[in-house]
Structure 1
Amino acid sequence: MAIKEFFEIPKRYRTWSLALMGIGVLSVIIGFFLYGNSEHPQRFWAALLQNSVYFLLVVNASMFFLCATTLAWGSWQLTFGRVTQAISTAVIPIGIITAIILICLVTVDPHIYHWLHPDGDKILEGKAGFLNKGFFIVWTALTLIGWIVLGAKMRKLNSELDNNPPASNESAKKWLFKNTVWAAVFIVWFALTVMSTVPWLWLMSIDAHWYSTMYSWYTFASTFVAGIAVIALFVVYLKNQNYLEYTNEEHLHDLGKFMFAFSIFWTYLWFSQYMLIWYANIPEETVYFRSRIVTDHETGAYSGVFWFSFVINFLAPFLILMRRGSKRNYTTIAMMAIVILVGHWFDFYQMVFASVMKDHVTLNLFDFGVAAGFVGLIMFAVGNALTKKPLVAKNHPLMKESIIHHT
């Protein structure tokens, strides 16, 4: 069987990626004149915050997946490992865009973060050591630099053996150990950022009076399952283009397991955060859900989106991906990957907008146009990255186990 080593970007693929990026740029320009210069610029900046942070965390989840499986000395994912690496390259352009947006939010101050003006507010003054402009900018910069640098290091290590096969078993073990060490470094940095401080700073601090100890894990679960969905989509696409000859339904089955399992994990966090706050019934905690659910006195402005995201992010994956056959079907996996990506995009919409603008903001072409721009950018970055290296890593000590993988 002839193996197609390198990805060649189809004309249609490139056209779609450029068109979507064009729609995104046009949407931002039109949105700026419609909303950015209005009396309520929060509408414009909230959309940029929602989309940039969501898609950044989704593509960064690919590097987390790579490092987590490397730490576990997993091998099943190696046949499509270059897809995971390619997706992680999108962290660079999206990270730069996100950095610009976040810095603008604390310098231009379109009234997204109320902690920028803590004077007279004892709660905000008490949090000023953490919630201040200097710390926000420095930690955001360090976070993004760490993701980009460590991600680049992992991609470099994973391609070292392509042209330099290990001379002996000992040299192969040394390479695996070095890979494992750098994967551990990334995981530690990921834990210090995505699993703790970054969601607090970028998202939870929009409601600066409110906090949840489960918020970072909730954000991680949402973006990680969406990240697995992106990996699955590219794997299915490449298989349809007759690439990834060593990847089969066994590997797809395991990706489906991840999508199913972390949809359940997200739901566990969703329910736990809601249930504990509801049960405690403390006003400074329940205020978060006032605009998101139906209460005894009124219907929350975002209750429809809140419950819709629960249905689409839990019930759909749970009912459809429960069957073994569904997780081994390329069409079903692709459809569910899209459902998961869209569902968690809506979840991020209510996470941001229900805190920024308590009165319901109706989604329109501006919001979907901005999202389309980021989708096009991901397609463009991943497509270019896939052309740079062989689609299957050469001389990897564990590759044989991946090829004969059976689940």
Structure 2
Amino acid sequence: MSTSTTEKFIPAKRYNTIAFALMVIGVIAAISLFVTTGGEGNHDNRARFWASLLQNSVYFLLVVNAAMFFMCATTLAWGGWQIGFTRVTEAIASCVPVIGVIALVILLALCFGDHHTIYHWTDAEHVAHDPVLEHKSGFLSKGFFATVTILTVVLWSFLGWKMRQLSLKTDEGDIVSTLEKRKKFVWNNTVMAALYIVVFALTVMSSVPWLWVMSIDAHWYSTMFSWYNFASTFVAGLSLIALYVVFLKNNGYLPMVNKEHLHDLGKFIFAFSIFWTYLWFAQFMLIWYANIPEETVYFKPRAEGIYSAIFWMMLIINFVAPLLIFMSKDSKRNYTVVTVVSVLVLFGHWLDYFQMVFPAVSPDKVPMILFDMGIGLGFVGIIMFVTGKTLSRHSLTARNHPFVKEAVIHHT
């Protein structure tokens, strides 16, 4: 197989077959869950169905969006080492509009439908008799929720598209043919990345996790919750990038990328696994130590109740496993080890979102998790299909990027 810098990714028949098979599994799982829990007149059962859609759509939307955050953050830092696989991050980020539309439909259906067992604050009669929810009604309102949700998906999609278009212009040699043109390109790229980071700060790092996830437990709140969500989905997004880098390298693509680049991706996964654990511990420890009933109500069913096994298993997968496995230098350069850890991290943080959502929706019984995993596999299939299509449309290497030399000579 040729390894020229101009080649495009050609998805193998098996790749597309797996992607379509996973999407079919997701559809079957969703239909099966709807049939078994969607009975008329049973709000709790219907909440079980919609909660699964909510958990999976929000989690995978934030994961693919994390790829764009990684690209924009490294752009603002004027980094060059990631240019060798920047088309991978762009391709993953191209899933944002697709999964964003799915999540948007689900979130708006929950907001304006009669599924009040998930978002209690959408029930006007319930809010009128609940002083806590009435006090929060300025923030937890249908109009504000819908406005922020629509703006978030639109801005993420638009700014991601703009970053992609800027990157593709480097395939045109003329745009970076002179020093002035290179300076202009770097300036435009930096400005667009900065705009995205501002939007990211106002959404993922503040309002969106509060609205989409924390408001399921509308009486409870944590000022660290958004950062906790960011750390969870960012390390999962890094793992998804690493999986695609390994996959493409194993198939003879990405000639500029070597074990030095993989090592740095491994260091990011290692570091942000620890950062996530720091936020997990800080949030949990402060609430446990203060022992205030309105705060402990969130952790009691998760750490001590019927969800405790998932709660502690999630911590082991997301902290202990990456810490011990990725501690050595060689492990972060081994394709097999990186693949195993990346899959573990993606699954572990999927479990994290499962335990964020379901103890509030189904407090008396742990639902059959196989349905939720099936729906999750459907989203994995969507990511595989969209990412593969995007990778196949243009060169896998931004060969004329002003910082491409840094990617070639990168050493860590």
TM range (shorter): over 0.9
Aligned ranges 1:38-187 → 2 under 5 Å: 39=42, 40=44, 41-110=46-115, 111-117=117-123, 118-165=127-174, 166-187=176-197
Aligned pair partner of 1:397 in 389, 393, 402: 402
Residue 249 (str. 1) matches residue 259 (str. 2): yes
Residue identity matched to 1:115: W
Question: 1:105-132, CA deviations, whole angstroms, 9 ceiling, x for partnerless residues?
Answer: 1122322001112111111001101101
User: How many Å separate the matches in 1 of 2:336 and 2:191?
Assistant: 37
Q: CA RMSD in A?
A: 1.0
Name whichever of 284-293 and 196-205 sits farther off.
Answer: 284-293
Name whichever of 52-61 and 18-27 sits farther off.
Answer: 18-27
Structure 1 position 367, deviation (Å): 1.2
**1:16 — aligned with what?**
18
User: How many Å separate the matches in 2 of 1:263 and 1:359?
Assistant: 31
**1:222 — aligned with what?**
232
Structure 1 position 12, deviation (Å): 0.1
Residue 343 (str. 1) matches residue 344 (str. 2): no
Structure 1 position 133, deviation (Å): 0.9
Residue identity matched to 2:121: W
Residue identity matched to 1:9: P
Structure 1 position 2, deviation (Å): 4.4
User: How many Å separate the matches in 1 of 2:67 and 2:373?
Assistant: 23
Return 5+ residue gaps in structure 1 as ranges.
295-299
> 1:36 touches 1:45 (CA, 8 Å); kept in 2?
no
Residue identity matched to 2:4: I
> 1:58 touches 1:227 (CA, 8 Å); kept in 2?
yes
* 3-state DSSP of counterpart to 2:313: helix
> 2:112 touches 2:122 (CA, 8 Å); kept in 1?
no
Question: 1:68-90, CA deviations, whole angstroms, 9 ceiling, x for partnerless residues?
Answer: 00000000011010000000011
Residue identity matched to 1:239: K
Residue 3 (str. 1) matches residue 4 (str. 2): yes
**1:266 — aligned with what?**
276
User: How many Å separate the matches in 1 of 2:38 and 2:213?
Assistant: 20
Question: Sequence identity, in percent?
Answer: 58
Residue identity matched to 2:339: A
**1:297 — aligned with what?**
none
Aligned pair partner of 2:306 in 301, 309, 332: 301
User: How many Å separate the matches in 1 of 2:114 and 2:85?
Assistant: 43
* 3-state DSSP of counterpart to 1:73: coil
> 1:123 touches 1:209 (CA, 8 Å); kept in 2?
yes
User: How many Å separate the matches in 1 of 2:95 and 2:364?
Assistant: 34
Name whichever of 173-182 and 22-31 sits farther off.
Answer: 22-31
Aligned pair partner of 2:38 in 36, 48, 63: 36
- With the length of structure 2 as denominator, give the TM-score of the two structures: 0.96
Question: 1:265-305, CA deviations, whole angstroms, 9 ceiling, x for partnerless residues?
Answer: 000000000001111111111111110112xxxxx121111
Aligned pair partner of 1:194 in 189, 204, 224: 204
**1:332 — aligned with what?**
337
> 1:292 touches 1:306 (CA, 8 Å); kept in 2?
yes
**1:372 — aligned with what?**
377
User: How many Å separate the matches in 1 of 2:258 and 2:178?
Assistant: 30
Return 5+ residue gaps in structure 2 as ranges.
none
Question: 1:216-245, CA deviations, whole angstroms, 9 ceiling, x for partnerless residues?
Answer: 000000000000000000000001111011
* 3-state DSSP of counterpart to 2:78: coil
Residue identity matched to 2:30: V
Structure 1 position 176, deviation (Å): 0.2
> 2:205 touches 2:230 (CA, 8 Å); kept in 1?
yes
Structure 1 position 35, deviation (Å): 1.0
Question: 1:149-190, CA deviations, whole angstroms, 9 ceiling, x for partnerless residues?
Answer: 000000001111211332311210111011000000000000
Structure 1 position 363, deviation (Å): 3.1
Structure 1 position 337, deviation (Å): 0.1
> 1:83 touches 1:386 (CA, 8 Å); kept in 2?
yes
Residue identity matched to 1:398: F
User: How many Å separate the matches in 2 of 1:264 and 1:364?
Assistant: 27
User: How many Å separate the matches in 2 of 1:365 and 1:275?
Assistant: 31
User: How many Å separate the matches in 1 of 2:385 and 2:114?
Assistant: 31
User: How many Å separate the matches in 1 of 2:230 and 2:329?
Assistant: 26
User: How many Å separate the matches in 2 of 1:185 and 1:274?
Assistant: 33
Structure 1 position 350, deviation (Å): 0.3
> 2:3 touches 2:253 (CA, 8 Å); kept in 1?
no
